[in-house]
Every structure is written in C-alpha cells, then in structure tokens.
Structure 1
Amino acid sequence: MGFCVESARVMLIIFNFIFWLSGVALLGVGIWFLADKNIVSYLEVVNHNVPNAYINYAAYILIAFGALIFLIGFLGCCGAIRRSKCLIGFYLFFLVIIFAGELAAGIIVAIYRTEIEHSVDKELSNSIKMEYTFANESAITKSWDTVQVELKCCGGKGPDDYMNSKFTNMSGIIIPISCCVLSDTNNMVAKDKSQCMNKVPEYYHEEGCKKKLIEWVKSHSVILIGVGCGLAGLQIIGFIFGICLCRSFKYEEK
C-alpha cells in the first residue's frame, strides 16, 4: 500500500507540473487574443456595435483561469507532498470550478461562431458606410484598414459598400488605399493608385471581407476550443490522481 501511495503522490506532482505548463499556454493564448494588433483590429470590425463580444469574453475567461491554474497546481503539489487530505480536497474542488468555467467559455465561443454569421452582413456594411472616415482618426477606420490590408479584401460584401458612404462623400475617392494592392504595406503605398481607383482587377482587391473574416473567426475559435478541451482532459486526469491519493491516505490510516 505504501508503494501505491508514493506512486499516486509522484504522479500527482508530475501532473501538476504539466498543469502549470498548460496554465502558461492558456494565459498566453488569452493575452495573445487581446494584445495582438491584427487580432484586435479584426475583433473591432467584427464586434462593432454588437452587444455581445463573445470571443473577448472567452479570452478574459482564459486569462483568469490560466492565472488561477498556477495557484491550484501549487495547492495540489503541497497536498501531495504534505499528505494532506484537506489540501487535496480543496484542490479537487477548485479543479471542478475551473472545469465549469472552461465549459462556459467553450459554450460562449460555440454560440459566437453561429451568431457571427447572422449579424456580420449588416454590421460590416453599416460600419463601412457610417463609421469609416477619410481622416483615418477613428478606431474603426484603422481597424478596417488593417483588415483590408492583411486579408487582402475590400469592404464587407465587396468594394461597392463604399458607394454613397461617408468616406466617399467626404473625399470623392471611390475606395480607400487599403483596398489597393500595395507595394509598401507599412506606408500604405499602392502598387498603382490610378489603376486601383479605376478598379483594374490586378490593382485592387475585388473580394469582400465578410467571408475571410468569418473564416478567421472560425479558425481562431477552434484554437480556443482546442486549448480548453486539452486542458479539460488534463484536469480529468488530475482529478483521478487526486481521488486515488485521497483513497490511498484512507487505506494507509487503517
């Protein structure tokens, strides 16, 4: 029985080391989603005037639980080293809490993936026509420029979204430079501005951003779901080791 107890303790300590590493990964993914310039721009465009920015909420949950995992992993190690049923009990309780939070984050992202396809058409066109400006001062204008340059697209449904828009009425330009094929992306220099403004196919982006944004949201939500599922699997293993260790303590006391 002593061998079983020691084996359970060692396995739980090894697991918690892996658990700490998964916490770093979870924290990193959450921070990446909120700090990366391109991702922030994509989310600004997609979430503009949408009351429930689900991917943002899911990222905040990932950051919170990633930080909490450090504390829970330490608690599990202490419980295993000190042979404390009380600490192991708290450890198991918090594992269940974290699991529930990750499940909630997964549901939020799954809902978001469905809802984005219903709301994106109207919101993208509205933000282009009403919010995109010639002065390039607003956050939504800068975000749209980043999206159009990085995804090589123009407008929501297409370049025609700029017809009779606030941008066109103010500037007299039919599409912004970010819709053009660029020779210098850092300084927003078009390959051939006159050809772009005449909508010569090889000099501007003919495809709208809707499809590419939806594909981007889906691919990145898969990352969130994958990280959450992987961590959930680790937590189930940790829960089993914790239960086994508690039972080993019980038999050892007899």
Structure 2
Amino acid sequence: MAVNKCVKYLLFFFNLLFWLSGCLILAVSIYLRVSKGGNKITDQYFPAVNLMIAIGAIIMVLGFLGCCGAYRESRCMLLLFFIFLLIIFILLVAAGIAGAVSQNKMQDWVNEQLKSLVPLSSQPQSVINDLENLQKDLKCCGIVNGKSDWTSVPESCRCNYTISATATPGAECGSDRYYSTPCSTRIVNLMKENMVIVLGIAFGIAVLLIFGLAFSMALYCQISKKDGPTTNA
C-alpha cells in the first residue's frame, strides 16, 4: 500500500510552519532577554521570558523531528513526534485549566514571590531603581503593603500632578498624594487582563496540536501498512 502523498506533505508543511514559529518565539524571547529595557524585578520573580525561550527551543526540535519523519517516512521519528506532541497537548490543557481555576489564588502567589524584597529600602541600588521604574509605569507604591514597604518613601510613589496643588487626586492616589495601590495588586490585575489572551493562544495551539497528532498518526499507520508485506517476505 502506497503512502498518501497528500498526508505526507501536509504533515511536512505543518511541521515546517511549526519549526518557523519556534524560531520566531526563540528569536523574540532572546531579544527581550538581552535588551536593556527589561525590569529585573519582573524578570527574576516572573520568568516568562525564560519560559518562552524553552518553549521556542522545544517547538524547533519537534518541528525538525516531524519534518524529517514525514520526508524520510521514518516510523521511529513519527512515533517520537506523536508522543512528544501528545505530552505537550496534555500539559497545555492541564496548564490552561489550572490557570483558569486558580485566578483567585493569584494575589497570594504574587505576594509570596515578592515579599522577600521587603523592606525595599534595604535592597541594592540597582533593585531600587527597577522598583521605582515599576512604580512609575504601573502607578503603584510599594510591593505588598503599599508605601509602608519603604523606610523612606521615594518620589516615584508620588502621583504625577500637572495641574494645581488643589486639584482633586485621581482614583489611583490617596489623600496624601501617594499611589495607594501596591504594585503586587497592579501586577495581578495585568495578569488577569492578559489571561483571556493567553488562554486563547493556548486554545489555538491545542487545535494545531490535534491536527499534528492526526496527520502524524495517519502517516505512521500508512507507512506501517506499506512496510508490512516487505517485513514478512
């Protein structure tokens, strides 16, 4: 029985796109890692860039394995490709479910990651600079307990008023004209806002993985049937 060329080349081009997407993820992740615009606080305690680098590398390896398996009609490569895709699919679904149901515990987790920085004024100057940049960007003050996390409250905690001294403070400002929300709360809000996007991307990847699983198993079965009579002869 001849191998269906349509299935073979569909799997090949699927894996080529899979490999290219891995290259793109890896390139963007490395650029973010080596660029000087990163914040050491978020990089250290929320290592999303490191995770993206790992994901990009894994996708590249799997894409290469799938391309070679499809082109050479190698049952061993196709079986390995199928197994790894299945593992990634299961992990992706599990991570998506865990992320969706654990949003209520997100604040506690973020606080746990960041509370080691308190008191903030005792940190090295490079960390303090990153903290102040974080406060300016997110319009927050302190990490867990607000401005009380600082021994001496920095100017970055002060609300930016461009009107008069008697102007009514914005919703993010306290009566003392300091940002009233700790940065951990701002970080959690950003994570929750982006959760829908992340889950949507995860769903799209899961659909692609299903196609990859179907194509690889179909080609594997066809190659097995083709090689069967030769093996028995």
CA displacement at 1:93 relative to structure 2: 2.0
Amino acid at match of 1:208: T
Q: How does 1:73-84 map to 2 (within 5 A)?
A: 73-84=63-74
In structure 2, distance between residues paired with 1:136 and 1:114: 32
Q: CA deviation at 1:229?
A: 3.2
Q: Which residue of 2 aligns with 1:144?
A: 131
Residue 154 (1) aligns with residue 141 (2): yes
- 1:94 paired residue number: 84
Q: Give 1:244's aligned residue.
A: 218
Instruction: Give the whole-Å Cα distance in 1 for the aligned partners of 2:31 and 2:194.
Output: 11
What is aligned with 2:188? Answer: 214
CA gap of 1:212–1:38, structure 2 versus 1, over 3 A, is farther
Alignment check: 8 A CA contact 2:43 2:49 kept = no
Are residues 68 and 166 of structure 1, via their aligned partners in 2, closer, same or farther at CA, if it must alter by over 3 Å? closer
Identity %: 29
Q: Partner residue of 1:201?
A: 169
Is 2:146 aligned against 1:180?
A: no
Partner of 1:172: none
The alignment of Structure 1 onto Structure 2 pairs a total of residues equal to: 221
Q: What is the identity, as a one-letter code, of the residue corresponding to 2:81?
A: Y
For residues 249 and 72 of structure 1, do their structure 2 counterparts lie closer, same or farther at Cα, with a shift above 3 Å needed? same
Whether contact under 8 Å (2:39, 2:130) holds in the other structure is no
Deviation at 1:38, TM superposition (A): 5.0
Instruction: Provide the C-alpha distance between the structure 1 equivalents of 2:33 and 2:100, rounded to a whole number of angstroms.
Output: 19
Contact residue 158 and residue 179 of structure 2 kept, 8 A? no
Distance 1:114 1:95 in 2: 30
TM normalised by structure 2 equals 0.70
Contact preservation (8 Å) 2:135, 2:141: yes
Q: Deviations over 1:98-139 (max 9, x none)?
A: 3344456546655764433235568878856x2235x97151
Long gaps (5+) in structure 1: 48-54, 169-174, 183-189
Amino acid at match of 2:190: W
What's the counterpart of residue 71 of structure 1?
61
Aligned AA for 1:162? K
Distance in 2, Cα, partners of 1:24 & 1:157: 38
Tell me what 2:8 maps to. Answer: 9
How far apart are 1:222 and its partner, in Å? 4.4
Amino acid at match of 1:219: E
- 1:41 partner letter: I
Q: Displacement, 1:145?
A: 0.9
Q: Distance in 2 between matches of 1:26 and 1:107?
A: 23
Residue by residue over 1:184-216, the C-alpha shift from the partner in whole angstroms, topping out at 9 and shown as x without a partner, is: xxxxxx869x95xx9973795544135422111
- Give the 3 Å change call, closer, same or farther, for CA 127–21 of structure 1 in structure 2: same
Residue aligned with 2:216, SS: helix
SS in 2 for 1:153: coil
Counterpart residue type for residue 14 of structure 1: F
Q: Structure 1 residues 146, 84: CA separation in 2 closer, same or farther (over 3 Å shift)?
A: same
**Secondary structure of residue in 2 paired with 1:167:** coil
Q: TM-score, normalised by structure 1?
A: 0.65
- Residue pair 1:9, 1:245 contacting (<8 A) in 2 also: yes
Which structure 2 residue ranges, 5 or more long, are not aligned? none
Q: How far, CA to CA, are the matches of 1:112 and 1:28 in structure 2? A: 31
CA positional deviation for 1:250: 3.5
* Maintained 8 Å contact 1:154/1:179: yes
Go from structure 1 to structure 2 and tell me whether the alpha carbon gap of 1:113 and 1:26 turns closer, same or farther (over 3 Å shift).
farther
- 1:132 is aligned to 121
Q: Judging changes above 3 Å, is the alpha-carbon distance between structure 1 residues 125 and 6 closer, same or farther for their aligned structure 2 residues?
A: closer
